[in-house]
Amino acid sequence: MEVIKRFFMVNLYKLTEPISNINYRDVIEIIILTFIVYRLLVWIKDTRAWTLLKGILLLGLFVLIANIFELDTITFLINKGIGFAFMAVMVIFQPELRRALEELGEKKIFTTLTPFDTARDIRERFSDKTVNELVKATVEMAKVKTGALIVIENNVTLAEYERTGIAIDSILTSQLLINIFEHNTPLHDGAVIVRGNRIISATCYLPLSDNLALSKELGTRHRAGVGISEETDSLTIIVSEETGSVSLASKGKLMRDVDAAVLRQQLVILQDKSVDTKKFRLWKGKGKNEEKLGE
């Protein structure tokens, strides 16, 4: 406790010492920087970088503890690794950075300080009616072998993927989903993104999984479903156009030959996070990274 007390006493003194020298220009700079940081945080919250930011904050807490207890080796390793970590972030989140620069070029300087997706403030869970409509549409499409790819957003935003498609923003119904994926219709190619009780967009492009453990008999639709589940925490419903079988993709895993009861169970788990996720039981499937759901 004495170490912690001494650490805070020394550093609080260093922080409070310059306060008496603050002038009006410093106040203006503080207000501007605070506003910019706040708007950047609002924007980051609608990207995959939000999860990274939380990790960085936890790492910062760990560094603070290491400094308090003078863990010199750990502090040295962290300081040396910061540069490499920064470069890795630039590579991993290149799409988000590119999008931010595009927005900067498309808008006026003041509008770029506002969130890029201000309409998405509330991330609601879908209702029981939406669960029923999803199950009904999936079963009907499976019967007639209509290929479908439905991505249901969870906590990680799908905003960057919905921009690749055509905006729908309509209440989700089974008939609308069936019409979207009907053969020879303008919207049947690509994925549908669902947020809450609404279909947000259709014909969306998804990242393909490069996991070599997936069965070679799987097509682009299945690899896209697994790919988006590797990038986000979404749940993807996949209906095979060749066999009519239903699969689910979640957390990089592919669960094949899913029936209506299992589909409903997984939707309810996603709908209500208080459900014990340990009930999400998985069995070995055809491939190392493929799993099959049972009762």
CA-to-CA dists, residue 120 to 45, 65, 141, angstroms:
10, 36, 30
In this structure, what token pair is assigned to residue 290? 């493929």
Q: What is the structure's pLDDT at 95? A: 65
Is residue 14's pLDDT more than 70? no
Average pLDDT, rounded, for the chain: 78
What is the set of domains in the chain, with CATH numbers? 1-104 (no CATH), 128-271 (3.40.1700.10)
pLDDT bucket at 294, cuts 50 / 70 / 90: very low
Q: What is the structure's pLDDT at 263? A: 95
Question: What average pLDDT score do residues 181-187 get?
Answer: 90
**How far is it, in rounded angstroms, from Cα 37 to Cα 137?**
44
Q: Which residues pair with 291 in a beta bridge?
A: 255, 284
Judging by beta carbons within 10 Å of its beta carbon (0-12, 13-18, 19+), is residue 175 exposed, middle or buried?
A: exposed
Is residue 80's pLDDT more than 90? no
253-255 sheet: strands from edge to edge = 166-171, 198-204, 191-195, 148-152, 235-239, 246-250, 253-255, 290-292, 283-284
pLDDT bucket at 146, cuts 50 / 70 / 90: very high
Plot region of 93 (φ>0 → left; ψ -120 to 50 → alpha; else → beta): alpha
pTM of the model: 0.61
Residue closest to 230 by CA, chosen among 211, 257, 212: 211
**How far is it, in rounded angstroms, from Cα 194 to Cα 150?**
7
Largest CA distance in the chain: 76
Question: What average pLDDT score do residues 129-143 get?
Answer: 96
pLDDT bucket at 289, cuts 50 / 70 / 90: very low
Question: What average pLDDT score do residues 255-279 get?
Answer: 78
pLDDT tens-place string over residues 33-74: 888 888 777 767 666 667 777 777 888 888 888 877 777 887
Question: What average pLDDT score do residues 235-262 get?
Answer: 94
In this structure, what token pair is assigned to residue 14? 């260093």
